Protein backbone atom coordinates (compact mmCIF):
# COMPACT_ATOMS: atom_id res chain seq x y z
CA UNK A 1 0.00 0.00 0.00
CA UNK A 2 1.35 3.43 -0.86
CA UNK A 3 2.45 5.84 1.84
CA UNK A 4 0.05 8.45 0.40
CA UNK A 5 -2.94 6.12 0.76
CA UNK A 6 -1.85 5.16 4.27
CA UNK A 7 -1.63 8.84 5.29
CA UNK A 8 -5.01 9.55 3.68
CA UNK A 9 -6.69 6.70 5.53
CA UNK A 10 -5.11 7.70 8.84
CA UNK A 11 -6.60 11.22 8.48
CA UNK A 12 -10.05 10.02 7.39
CA UNK A 13 -12.86 9.48 9.89
CA UNK A 14 -16.23 7.98 9.03
CA UNK A 15 -19.33 6.27 10.35
CA UNK A 16 -20.13 2.57 9.93
CA UNK A 17 -22.54 3.34 7.06
CA UNK A 18 -19.97 5.53 5.26
CA UNK A 19 -17.38 2.80 5.75
CA UNK A 20 -19.73 0.17 4.30
CA UNK A 21 -20.20 2.26 1.15
CA UNK A 22 -16.48 3.04 0.82
CA UNK A 23 -13.98 1.09 -1.29
CA UNK A 24 -12.13 0.19 1.94
CA UNK A 25 -14.76 -2.04 3.55
CA UNK A 26 -12.97 -5.22 2.34
CA UNK A 27 -9.65 -5.98 3.97
CA UNK A 28 -10.04 -3.17 6.48
CA UNK A 29 -11.87 -2.50 9.74
CA UNK A 30 -13.20 0.71 11.26
CA UNK A 31 -11.85 1.49 14.73
CA UNK A 32 -13.16 4.57 16.51
CA UNK A 33 -13.89 6.17 13.14
CA UNK A 34 -10.48 5.38 11.62
CA UNK A 35 -9.86 2.90 8.79
CA UNK A 36 -7.28 0.27 9.74
CA UNK A 37 -6.15 -2.81 7.82
CA UNK A 38 -7.22 -6.20 9.15
CA UNK A 39 -4.09 -7.48 10.80
CA UNK A 40 -3.17 -3.95 11.91
CA UNK A 41 -0.33 -3.42 9.44
CA UNK A 42 -0.61 -1.52 6.16
CA UNK A 43 2.29 -3.56 4.76
CA UNK A 44 0.59 -6.91 5.47
CA UNK A 45 -2.67 -6.42 3.58
CA UNK A 46 -2.57 -9.88 1.99
CA UNK A 47 -4.30 -13.25 2.23
CA UNK A 48 -3.68 -15.43 5.27
CA UNK A 49 -1.47 -18.51 5.24
CA UNK A 50 -2.62 -22.10 4.75
CA UNK A 51 -2.37 -23.02 8.45
CA UNK A 52 -4.66 -20.11 9.39
CA UNK A 53 -7.14 -21.17 6.70
CA UNK A 54 -7.22 -24.85 7.64
CA UNK A 55 -7.69 -24.25 11.37
CA UNK A 56 -10.30 -21.53 10.88
CA UNK A 57 -12.29 -23.67 8.43
CA UNK A 58 -12.14 -26.71 10.73
CA UNK A 59 -13.58 -24.73 13.62
CA UNK A 60 -16.09 -22.83 11.44
CA UNK A 61 -17.47 -26.00 9.85
CA UNK A 62 -17.97 -27.67 13.23
CA UNK A 63 -19.68 -24.56 14.59
CA UNK A 64 -21.89 -24.22 11.50
CA UNK A 65 -23.02 -27.83 11.64
CA UNK A 66 -23.79 -27.64 15.38
CA UNK A 67 -25.65 -24.32 15.12
CA UNK A 68 -27.69 -25.45 12.10
CA UNK A 69 -28.61 -28.83 13.66
CA UNK A 70 -29.71 -27.18 16.90
CA UNK A 71 -31.36 -24.13 15.27
CA UNK A 72 -29.42 -21.76 17.54
CA UNK A 73 -28.83 -18.84 15.16
CA UNK A 74 -26.25 -18.16 12.45
CA UNK A 75 -22.52 -18.57 11.96
CA UNK A 76 -20.85 -15.80 9.97
CA UNK A 77 -17.74 -16.18 7.82
CA UNK A 78 -14.64 -14.00 7.87
CA UNK A 79 -14.96 -10.44 6.67
CA UNK A 80 -18.52 -10.03 8.00
CA UNK A 81 -18.57 -6.64 9.69
CA UNK A 82 -20.07 -6.22 13.15
CA UNK A 83 -20.80 -2.74 14.53
CA UNK A 84 -19.30 -2.85 18.04
CA UNK A 85 -19.67 0.84 18.88
CA UNK A 86 -20.24 4.14 17.10
CA UNK A 87 -17.44 4.30 14.54
CA UNK A 88 -16.13 0.77 15.21
CA UNK A 89 -16.69 -2.13 12.82
CA UNK A 90 -14.73 -5.35 13.31
CA UNK A 91 -14.72 -8.57 11.32
CA UNK A 92 -13.94 -11.80 13.19
CA UNK A 93 -12.57 -14.86 11.39
CA UNK A 94 -15.71 -16.70 12.53
CA UNK A 95 -18.68 -15.37 14.51
CA UNK A 96 -21.90 -16.73 15.96
CA UNK A 97 -25.10 -14.75 16.58
CA UNK A 98 -28.00 -16.35 18.44
CA UNK A 99 -31.61 -16.47 17.22
CA UNK A 100 -32.76 -13.79 19.65
CA UNK A 101 -30.28 -11.24 18.32
CA UNK A 102 -30.98 -12.27 14.70
CA UNK A 103 -34.70 -11.64 15.34
CA UNK A 104 -33.93 -8.24 16.86
CA UNK A 105 -31.46 -6.94 14.25
CA UNK A 106 -32.18 -9.03 11.15
CA UNK A 107 -29.70 -9.83 8.42
CA UNK A 108 -29.17 -7.21 5.73
CA UNK A 109 -26.61 -6.40 3.07
CA UNK A 110 -24.95 -3.95 5.45
CA UNK A 111 -22.86 -4.69 8.54
CA UNK A 112 -24.56 -6.59 11.37
CA UNK A 113 -25.70 -3.85 13.75
CA UNK A 114 -24.59 -5.53 17.00
CA UNK A 115 -21.76 -7.56 18.48
CA UNK A 116 -21.70 -11.32 17.88
CA UNK A 117 -22.37 -13.64 20.81
CA UNK A 118 -19.13 -15.49 19.97
CA UNK A 119 -16.15 -14.07 18.10
CA UNK A 120 -13.28 -16.26 16.90
CA UNK A 121 -9.96 -14.72 15.90
CA UNK A 122 -7.27 -16.95 14.43
CA UNK A 123 -3.81 -15.52 14.94
CA UNK A 124 -1.60 -14.88 11.91
CA UNK A 125 2.10 -13.90 11.89
CA UNK A 126 1.15 -10.27 11.16
CA UNK A 127 -1.08 -9.85 14.23
CA UNK A 128 0.34 -7.78 17.09
CA UNK A 129 -0.44 -8.46 20.74
CA UNK A 130 -1.81 -4.91 21.13
CA UNK A 131 -4.17 -5.36 18.18
CA UNK A 132 -5.51 -8.66 19.54
CA UNK A 133 -5.95 -7.23 23.05
CA UNK A 134 -7.83 -4.24 21.58
CA UNK A 135 -10.17 -6.56 19.64
CA UNK A 136 -10.87 -8.72 22.70
CA UNK A 137 -11.68 -5.63 24.77
CA UNK A 138 -13.88 -4.14 22.02
CA UNK A 139 -15.84 -7.38 21.56
CA UNK A 140 -16.42 -7.89 25.29
CA UNK A 141 -17.33 -4.24 25.89
CA UNK A 142 -19.84 -4.41 23.02
CA UNK A 143 -21.56 -7.44 24.58
CA UNK A 144 -19.85 -10.45 23.00
CA UNK A 145 -20.13 -13.24 25.58
CA UNK A 146 -17.21 -15.42 24.42
CA UNK A 147 -14.07 -14.63 22.44
CA UNK A 148 -11.88 -17.49 21.27
CA UNK A 149 -8.34 -16.55 20.25
CA UNK A 150 -6.89 -19.42 18.21
CA UNK A 151 -3.12 -19.94 17.98
CA UNK A 152 -2.55 -22.51 15.18
CA UNK A 153 1.24 -22.67 15.50
CA UNK A 154 1.09 -23.27 19.27
CA UNK A 155 -2.02 -25.47 18.99
CA UNK A 156 -3.85 -23.58 21.73
CA UNK A 157 -6.97 -21.47 22.22
CA UNK A 158 -7.54 -18.68 24.74
CA UNK A 159 -11.13 -18.37 25.95
CA UNK A 160 -12.13 -14.85 27.06
CA UNK A 161 -15.43 -14.14 28.82
CA UNK A 162 -17.49 -11.19 30.03
CA UNK A 163 -16.48 -12.17 33.59
CA UNK A 164 -12.81 -11.51 32.68
CA UNK A 165 -12.00 -15.15 33.41
CA UNK A 166 -9.53 -16.39 30.81
CA UNK A 167 -8.73 -20.04 30.12
CA UNK A 168 -5.88 -21.34 28.02
CA UNK A 169 -6.68 -24.65 26.32
CA UNK A 170 -4.03 -26.92 24.87
CA UNK A 171 -4.07 -29.75 22.35
CA UNK A 172 -5.57 -32.40 24.68
CA UNK A 173 -8.23 -30.09 26.18
CA UNK A 174 -11.86 -29.70 25.11
CA UNK A 175 -13.31 -26.44 23.81
CA UNK A 176 -16.77 -25.83 25.26
CA UNK A 177 -19.48 -23.48 23.95
CA UNK A 178 -20.62 -22.86 27.53
CA UNK A 179 -23.97 -21.03 27.81
CA UNK A 180 -23.48 -19.36 24.39
CA UNK A 181 -23.52 -22.71 22.53
CA UNK A 182 -24.82 -25.25 25.06
CA UNK A 183 -23.48 -28.78 24.49
CA UNK A 184 -20.98 -27.70 21.83
CA UNK A 185 -17.74 -29.50 22.62
CA UNK A 186 -14.74 -30.34 20.49
CA UNK A 187 -11.31 -31.69 21.39
CA UNK A 188 -8.57 -29.31 20.33
CA UNK A 189 -6.60 -32.17 18.78
CA UNK A 190 -9.50 -32.52 16.31
CA UNK A 191 -9.16 -28.84 15.37
CA UNK A 192 -5.37 -28.96 15.20
CA UNK A 193 -5.24 -32.19 13.19
CA UNK A 194 -2.39 -31.34 10.81
Model confidence at 34, pLDDT cuts 50, 70, 90, reads: confident
**How far apart are the C-alpha atoms of 93 and 38, rounded to whole Å?**
10
Continuous segment of H or E residues that includes residue 181: none
Query: Does 13 map to a domain?
Result: no
Q: CATH code at 186?
A: 3.90.1570.10
Q: Which domain holds residue 139?
A: 48-191
Phi, psi of 75 (to 5 degrees): -105, 135
Query: Does 171 map to a domain?
Result: yes
The total number of structural domains that make up the chain: 1
| 26 secondary structure, DSSP code | S
The string of pLDDT tens digits covering residues 106-157 is 999 999 999 999 999 999 888 889 989 999 999 999 999 999 999 999 999 9
**How far apart are the C-alpha atoms of 52 and 123, rounded to whole Å?**
7
Query: Does 174 map to a domain?
Result: yes
Query: Does 162 map to a domain?
Result: yes
Amino acid sequence: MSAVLEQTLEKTTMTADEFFDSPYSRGFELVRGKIVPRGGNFELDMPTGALHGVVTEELASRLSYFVRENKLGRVFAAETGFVLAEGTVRGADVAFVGQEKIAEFGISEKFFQAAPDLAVETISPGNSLDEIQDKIEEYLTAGTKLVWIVYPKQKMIQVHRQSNVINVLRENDTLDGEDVLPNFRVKLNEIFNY
